[in-house]
């Protein structure tokens, strides 16, 4: 007997959650991704700054699902979707149920030409590129300073890092860069002082971490500034090129520009010719199905969904809200859609509309400082850092990854050193540490 075919596009948090929740269901699951691994993106910046290696925050998809018999993995890129067919670059895959969990990409607001100058942090390849840029900037500054008649302006440019966007990624990158230059690299160079590096963080809104309560945002900014980060709010970057950025009509020379002010959804809405919001997310119904396509679902960053919110005790605590683009909504939506499919297969009615269990937000702002908004409790400092560390360790896939990351954090804290400091040859393609044939 031919089993109903469930196709899941995307191996991120949402796709992984949906596929896992279909374990043992009377379906044939096909998970499609252009990469062969699941990436724990909340810790990607630690790979970009040399604290962790790529394989410590990622897991091959085939390994993750090696014990699930009703799933197959396809490594390919989706080019379009028709009724009953997913088009891939190397063929077509039929489906009875389709789950789109295709994620996001950084939004350059109509200036895609900035992408080659201002790297965004989306993948392991991006983290390798960014780490190379950061380390190479210090090396070039050292080389210039060792030569007589070196131009101080160019050395200063090499040691200037401009970060665009004061959200979680920007704050975490800025604090890590500041501590890296002022604590971990100070003994390694002979002609430059890494502590003199300028870390500039630009935020277009009135405060950094805008989704957090104002008091936590203010305290996070104070802590960043105590680390030496220069924070500029209500400040928009209007141009980016090889020499730096333009801010408020003024040129700011910077050899390294990192981008993170906003994201847009994938092309999934275009594949379906469905109604989308300004960010390209598909406007879905209360059960996450695409209008007029009851067996096609969009979840995570692919979906525009306004849903009820409940607190840690399951009590509805606020009016319905637009689901944020973080891991928890994607995980919960993936499980919910798997339940919808199970019910449809058994002839039962669809479940009640999706509601979001809001567990709060966490952001790290240094070696032992974080801010935590758990809705029922808001706090900062080392206690918040402990909660942040515990949550992130818990959600890593695999005991080995949890153990290795814990050990690396401990060693880095005690020795004040970063383990991943090897530079690839300039211009060479950086290989992922995960075997693409796995």
Whether 143 is catalytic? no
Q: Which one is catalytic: 142, 172, 361, 380?
A: 172
Q: Report the alpha-carbon angle 373-376-378, nearest 5.
A: 35
Nearest to 398 by CA among 25, 65, 73: 65
Structure tokens at 150: 């070196």
**Dihedrals φ, ψ of 351, to 5°?**
-70, 175
Give every CB contact of residue 228 below 8 A, 6+ residues apart in sequence.
178, 182, 195, 199
Which residues are known catalytic residues?
Answer: 172
């Amino acid at each position: 007997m031919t089993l109903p075919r469930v196709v899941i596009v995307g191996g991120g948090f949402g796709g992984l959650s949906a596929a896992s929740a279909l374990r043992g269901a009377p379906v044939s699951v096909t998970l499609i991704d252009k990469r062969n691994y699941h990436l724990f993106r909340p810790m990607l910046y630690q790979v970009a700054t040399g604290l962790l290696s790529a394989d410590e925050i990622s897991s091959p998809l085939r390994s993750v699902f090696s014990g699930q018999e009703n799933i197959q993995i396809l490594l390919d890129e989706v080019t379009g979707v028709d009724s009953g067919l997913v088009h891939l670059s190397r063929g077509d895959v039929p489906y009875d149920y389709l789950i789109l969990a295709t994620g996001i990409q950084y939004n350059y607001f109509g200036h895609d030409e900035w992408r080659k100058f201002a790297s965004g942090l989306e993948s392991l390849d991006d983290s390798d590129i960014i780490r190379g840029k950061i380390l190479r900037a210090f090396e070039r500054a050292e080389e210039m300073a060792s030569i007589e008649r070196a131009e101080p302006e160019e050395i200063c440019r090499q040691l200037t890092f401009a970060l665009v966007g004061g959200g979680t990624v920007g704050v975490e990158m800025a604090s890590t860069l500041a501590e890296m230059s002022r604590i971990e690299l100070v003994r390694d160079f002979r002609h430059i002082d890494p502590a003199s590096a300028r870390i500039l963080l630009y935020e277009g809104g009135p405060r950094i971490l805008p989704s957090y309560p104002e008091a936590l945002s203010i305290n996070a900014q104070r802590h960043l500034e105590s680390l030496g980060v220069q924070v500029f709010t209500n400040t928009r970057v209007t141009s980016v090129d090889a020499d730096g950025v333009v801010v408020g009509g003024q040129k700011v020379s910077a050899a390294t520009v990192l981008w993170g002010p906003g994201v847009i959804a994938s092309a999934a809405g275009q594949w379906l010719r469905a109604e989308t919001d300004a960010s390209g997310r598909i406007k879905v119904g209360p059960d996450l199905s695409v209008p007029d396509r009851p067996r096609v679902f969009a979840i995570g960053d692919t979906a525009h969904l306004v849903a009820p919110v409940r607190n840690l005790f399951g009590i509805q605590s606020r009016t319905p809200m637009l689901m944020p683009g973080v891991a928890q909504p994607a995980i919960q939506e993936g499980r919910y859609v798997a339940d919808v499919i199970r019910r449809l297969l058994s002839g039962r009615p669809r479940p009640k509309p999706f509601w979001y269990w809001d567990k709060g937000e966490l952001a790290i702002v240094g070696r032992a400082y974080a801010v935590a908004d758990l809705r029922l409790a808001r706090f900062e400092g080392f206690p918040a850092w402990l909660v942040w560390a515990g949550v992130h360790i818990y959600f890593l896939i695999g005991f080995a990854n949890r153990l290795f990351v814990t050990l690396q954090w401990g060693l880095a804290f005690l020795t004040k050193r970063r383990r991943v400091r090897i530079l690839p040859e300039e211009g060479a393609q950086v290989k992922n540490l995960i075997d693409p044939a796995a």
